[in-house]
Amino acid sequence: MRANIKRKNLKYMVGYTKALGKPNSALFGDKDDPKVTSPQARRLSNQKAMELMKLDDKAKADYILKNPSLVQKYPDLVIKPLICSKLASFNWRDKGKVSPVKEQACYDCWAFAAAGAYESSYLIRNGITVDDSEQYIIDCAVSDPPDNEDAGSCSGGLAVKALQHMVRVGTATEATLPYTGTNHACTNPATPLDAISWGFVNPDADFPTTAQIKEALCKYGPLTTRMRVVSDDFKAYTEGVYNETVASDTSGEGHAVVIVGWDNAKGAWLIKNSWGTDWGYDGFGWIAYGSNRIGRHSAWIVAESSLWSIRDAIHWRVGYQQAYNRIREHQKYSKSKEQLTKIEAELKSSEKTMTAAEQLLSKKPINKQEANSLVVNIDNHTKNLDNMTNALGGETLTTTPLSSTQTSTQLTQQKMLATQSQQQTLQTLSNFSKSMHDMRMSIIRNLR
């Protein structure tokens, strides 16, 4: 290795690391899923992300206005991305906003990248170090509806699927579910660590530009990113700027790491790896811009603030999307296509009313006339949706044989799937109806 590095005049050094003695199955693990990383999926994810960030920005600005001393205690909350991104060098590790390096034991780098980005965001927004449970992510993380697929396992996964779960459900602490590096059934532990939004650095491109990654680092904090590794030099990396030309996004092994900063003099990103502290610079490394196809599908996550919250907005939006998706999915089993169309229209109309209510509550003081009008509208939507839901619960489901050769066992399975679909649809509609009631009560409390 060293002779090859010297012959090629490469700018990094290698030596013995624990990673050299491990199989690839204990070091890598990034696996793609086009359902989440396709251009269309990326754009849809970011549309929702930007809506949530607008709410958070407004809540943060209101809180800082009322508590101006907060800026002195948490100066990183008001970093200006466009100014910060023009700096010759910047990294969150030197600012004390990166959690300790950990060591993966199976094909689960994706879980460590997601946890690492979240832990840094929590530090930036709350000034507290938390220890996220990678084991929880492996065992329990599920992608957003309608896919509802495992984010991954000890056989590989995708970090952004874990980010979806963190925003929708939250995540557990290491103390609650310690890391074993093996697959287990989800035990549904408490998830006190919440996130409010996540998104791709550039939804329109597989590889964001260097400038876009820098700006996202400044605005959101450390980022999850994907890369490819072909040479064992990477396992043995100890210092310098690593640089390896990789032909494609399927060459070698897929790896997920956290980008925590940059240095233009080095022409490199500072990354946090998950191979223990004897790799690189105490577990960190410098990777040249563009090397190893690093930067692919880079993504950010924003932890919930302990000072202000937009969880109500997240809950009702998630509930709306789940209900809408279930109605679309249930069409294959329902005989009442016209009824489903009416429910779909009612959901869309309810979503507009809920958005208006959310905007009303963001203004202080609130307009009483507008508030009373919205309460009436929410009451009407809730009543309509409850009546439609009751009617849907009493319908006969479609269990027509899919083909003339379908067996009785297959027909029984189809009936079971139809019943499950009906139950899930009714539950999601009931959940969204409850979210509307909660919004109604929030308006009434603000009127007092």
Return the closest-CA partner of residue 84 out of 98, 70, 95, 73: 95
Kindly tell me if the per-residue pLDDT of 154 is higher than 60: yes
Catalytic positions, written as ranges: 109, 255, 273
Query: Domains along the chain?
Result: 2-303 (3.90.70.10), 311-447 (no CATH)
pLDDT of residue 379: 94
Residue, of 235 and 414, whose pLDDT is higher:
235
Residue 308 near residue 62, CB atoms below 8 Å: yes
pTM: 0.76
The yes-or-no verdict on residue 401 having pLDDT over 60 is no
Is the pLDDT at 421 greater than 70? The verdict is yes
Whether residue 287 is predicted with pLDDT greater than 60 in this model: the reply is yes
Question: Rounded to 10 degrees, what is the CA torsion of 112, 115, 118, 124?
Answer: -80
Task: Tell me the per-residue pLDDT of 340-364, one tens digit each, with 9 for 90 and over.
Answer: 899 999 999 999 999 898 888 767 6
Rounded mean pLDDT of 238-248?
96
Examine the pLDDT at 397 and tell me if it is beyond 90: no
Q: Tell how strand 268-272 and strand 284-288 pair up.
A: antiparallel
- Bigger pLDDT: 440 vs 4: 440
Q: What is the pLDDT of residue 146?
A: 77
pLDDT digits (tens, 9 = 90+) for 170-206: 999 999 999 999 999 999 999 999 999 999 999 999 9
* Residue 405: predicted pLDDT: 59
CB atoms within 10 A of CB 368: 10
Whether residue 103 contacts residue 261, with contact meaning beta carbons closer than 8 Å, is answered with no
Residue 42's pLDDT band (cuts 50, 70, 90): very high
Average pLDDT (245-255) is 96
Buried-state track 262-293, b at ≥16 Cβ within 10 A, e below 16: bbeebbbbbbbbbbbeebbbebbbbbbbebbb
Could you report the per-residue pLDDT of 297-329, keeping only the tens digit for each?
A: 999 999 999 888 777 666 787 788 888 888 888
Please report the pLDDT score of residue 2 as a whole number. 65
Q: For residue 370, is pLDDT > 70?
A: yes
